[in-house]
Amino acid sequence: MMEVALSSPEPLIHFAIVCGTRSGPPLRCYSPGDIDSELMDAARNFLINGGILIDFTTKVAYASKILKWFSIDFGKNEIEVMKHVSIYLDPSESELLFDLLASSELKVIYQPYDWGLNC
Protein backbone atom coordinates (compact mmCIF):
# COMPACT_ATOMS: atom_id res chain seq x y z
CA MET A 1 0.00 0.00 0.00
CA MET A 2 1.24 3.49 -0.84
CA GLU A 3 1.88 5.83 2.08
CA VAL A 4 -0.03 9.07 1.56
CA ALA A 5 0.85 10.96 4.74
CA LEU A 6 4.05 11.71 6.58
CA SER A 7 4.43 10.21 10.03
CA SER A 8 5.92 13.48 11.31
CA PRO A 9 5.85 17.07 10.06
CA GLU A 10 8.36 18.03 7.35
CA PRO A 11 9.28 21.66 8.01
CA LEU A 12 10.92 22.04 4.61
CA ILE A 13 7.48 21.97 3.02
CA HIS A 14 6.96 25.58 4.17
CA PHE A 15 9.72 26.68 1.80
CA ALA A 16 8.26 24.77 -1.16
CA ILE A 17 4.48 25.12 -1.04
CA VAL A 18 4.24 28.87 -1.37
CA CYS A 19 1.57 31.47 -2.03
CA GLY A 20 3.62 33.76 -4.30
CA THR A 21 3.88 36.70 -1.91
CA ARG A 22 6.77 39.14 -1.58
CA SER A 23 7.56 37.91 1.94
CA GLY A 24 7.38 34.23 1.09
CA PRO A 25 9.82 31.86 -0.56
CA PRO A 26 9.98 32.09 -4.34
CA LEU A 27 7.96 29.72 -6.48
CA ARG A 28 10.11 27.06 -8.14
CA CYS A 29 9.90 23.62 -9.70
CA TYR A 30 11.09 20.47 -7.96
CA SER A 31 12.16 17.13 -9.35
CA PRO A 32 11.29 13.85 -7.62
CA GLY A 33 14.80 12.46 -8.03
CA ASP A 34 16.47 15.27 -6.10
CA ILE A 35 13.65 16.61 -3.95
CA ASP A 36 15.48 16.43 -0.61
CA SER A 37 18.44 18.54 -1.69
CA GLU A 38 16.16 20.92 -3.60
CA LEU A 39 14.01 21.46 -0.49
CA MET A 40 17.16 22.11 1.59
CA ASP A 41 18.32 24.62 -1.04
CA ALA A 42 14.91 26.33 -1.01
CA ALA A 43 15.02 26.67 2.79
CA ARG A 44 18.62 27.89 2.79
CA ASN A 45 17.99 30.42 0.01
CA PHE A 46 14.86 31.80 1.65
CA LEU A 47 16.45 32.14 5.07
CA ILE A 48 19.77 33.66 3.98
CA ASN A 49 18.00 36.09 1.65
CA GLY A 50 15.90 37.79 4.30
CA GLY A 51 13.89 35.02 5.97
CA ILE A 52 16.14 35.43 8.99
CA LEU A 53 18.33 38.45 9.68
CA ILE A 54 20.46 38.26 12.80
CA ASP A 55 22.10 41.32 14.30
CA PHE A 56 24.76 39.77 16.51
CA THR A 57 25.67 43.16 18.00
CA THR A 58 22.19 43.90 19.33
CA LYS A 59 21.39 40.18 19.80
CA VAL A 60 18.18 40.42 17.79
CA ALA A 61 16.92 38.00 15.14
CA TYR A 62 14.41 39.38 12.64
CA ALA A 63 12.53 36.31 11.47
CA SER A 64 9.93 35.62 8.82
CA LYS A 65 6.41 35.19 10.16
CA ILE A 66 6.42 31.80 8.41
CA LEU A 67 8.63 30.58 11.27
CA LYS A 68 6.03 31.79 13.77
CA TRP A 69 2.91 30.65 11.93
CA PHE A 70 4.27 27.13 11.45
CA SER A 71 6.50 27.05 14.53
CA ILE A 72 5.13 23.69 15.68
CA ASP A 73 6.73 22.11 12.60
CA PHE A 74 10.14 23.65 13.40
CA GLY A 75 10.30 23.04 17.15
CA LYS A 76 8.46 22.96 20.46
CA ASN A 77 9.41 26.53 21.36
CA GLU A 78 11.16 29.60 19.98
CA ILE A 79 14.61 28.32 20.97
CA GLU A 80 14.07 25.06 19.09
CA VAL A 81 12.78 26.98 16.07
CA MET A 82 15.95 29.09 16.03
CA LYS A 83 18.10 25.95 16.43
CA HIS A 84 16.32 24.49 13.42
CA VAL A 85 16.98 27.68 11.45
CA SER A 86 20.69 27.39 12.26
CA ILE A 87 20.88 24.25 10.09
CA TYR A 88 20.50 26.42 6.98
CA LEU A 89 22.91 29.21 7.90
CA ASP A 90 26.61 29.49 7.15
CA PRO A 91 28.60 27.54 9.78
CA SER A 92 30.05 30.69 11.38
CA GLU A 93 26.60 32.32 11.71
CA SER A 94 25.14 29.06 12.98
CA GLU A 95 27.78 28.90 15.71
CA LEU A 96 27.15 32.51 16.75
CA LEU A 97 23.41 31.84 16.84
CA PHE A 98 23.94 28.80 19.10
CA ASP A 99 26.07 30.95 21.41
CA LEU A 100 23.28 33.53 21.66
CA LEU A 101 20.70 30.82 22.29
CA ALA A 102 22.87 29.27 25.01
CA SER A 103 23.20 32.64 26.73
CA SER A 104 19.42 33.25 26.55
CA GLU A 105 20.18 36.73 25.20
CA LEU A 106 18.60 36.41 21.77
CA LYS A 107 15.43 38.39 21.13
CA VAL A 108 13.31 37.31 18.17
CA ILE A 109 11.23 39.89 16.32
CA TYR A 110 8.94 38.67 13.57
CA GLN A 111 9.05 40.72 10.39
CA PRO A 112 5.85 42.19 8.96
CA TYR A 113 4.50 39.99 6.19
CA ASP A 114 4.05 41.54 2.75
CA TRP A 115 1.08 39.83 1.07
CA GLY A 116 1.73 41.64 -2.23
CA LEU A 117 2.30 39.41 -5.25
CA ASN A 118 5.86 38.42 -6.01
CA CYS A 119 5.79 39.01 -9.75
Q: Could you tell me if residue 73 is inside a domain?
A: yes
What's the chain's average pLDDT?
93
Q: Is the pLDDT of residue 1 over 80?
A: no
Please count the structural domains in the chain. 1
What is d(CA 107, CA 117) in angstroms, rounded to the nearest whole number?
Answer: 29
Q: Could you tell me if residue 65 is inside a domain?
A: yes
Structural domain of 79: 11-110
pLDDT tens-place string over residues 41-67 = 999 999 999 999 999 999 999 999 999
Mean pLDDT of 98-108: 95
Alpha helices in 31-90 (DSSP H): 35-46, 65-69, 71-74, 78-86
- For helices 78-86 and 91-103, angle between their N-to-C axes, nearest 10 degrees: 160
What is d(CA 104, CA 33) in angstroms, rounded to the nearest whole number?
Answer: 41
Q: Could you tell me if residue 31 is inside a domain?
A: yes
Mean pLDDT of 3-26: 87
Q: Is 47 left (phi over 0), alpha (psi -120 to 50) or beta?
A: alpha
Q: Name the residue with higher pLDDT: 6 or 28.
A: 28
Q: Could you tell me if residue 48 is inside a domain?
A: yes
pTM score: 0.89
What is d(CA 100, CA 98) in angstroms, rounded to the nearest whole number?
Answer: 5
Mean pLDDT of 95-106: 95
